[in-house]
């Protein structure tokens, strides 16, 4: 018979992980810098883990990521699209009140490579 205490010793204790998980219900609290730092750390951590998960070719996880992260991916796409159009020397610049990119209205684009450090 297996002793319960011995079997518990073989299980990794995830409560002492090196990662502090953010409280998803704690939005809007703290300074801007604290909130942004938490968001960036969370994104970097999950990206590292997704890179690890790539080797397993788990379509269920990918489907969950695409389904549950759709609003984040839409925002990211819109911000990057606005930045590309603002830095492009060709074509029409982005419209401020364009319906499809309204969620990226307050995104500040990085300057074009040729304009950086000038």
1 compared with 27, residue with greater pLDDT: 27
Give per-residue pLDDT as tens, 3-53: 555 444 444 444 445 666 666 666 678 999 999 999 999 999 999 999 999
Q: How far apart are CA 87 and CA 113, in angstroms?
A: 9
pLDDT at 11: 42
pLDDT at 7: 46
Q: How far apart are CA 68 and CA 37, in angstroms?
A: 22
Q: How far apart are CA 78 and CA 102, in angstroms?
A: 8
Give per-residue pLDDT as tens, 47-82: 999 999 999 999 999 999 999 999 999 999 999 988
> What pTM value is reported for the model?
0.65
**Residue 30 has which token pair?**
């703290």
């Amino acid at each position: 018979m297996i002793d319960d205490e011995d079997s518990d010793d073989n299980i990794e204790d995830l409560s002492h992980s090196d990662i502090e998980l953010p409280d998803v219900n704690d939005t809007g609290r703290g300074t801007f810098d604290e909130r942004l730092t938490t968001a960036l750390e969370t994104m970097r951590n999950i990206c590292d883990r997704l890179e690890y998960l790539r080797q397993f070719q788990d379509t269920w996880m990918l489907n969950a990521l695409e389904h549950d992260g759709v609003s984040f991916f839409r925002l990211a796409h819109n911000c990057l699209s606005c930045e590309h159009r603002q830095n492009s020397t060709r074509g029409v610049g982005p419209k401020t009140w364009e319906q499809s990119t309204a969620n990226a209205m307050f995104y500040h684009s990085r300057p074009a490579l040729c304009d950086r450090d000038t």
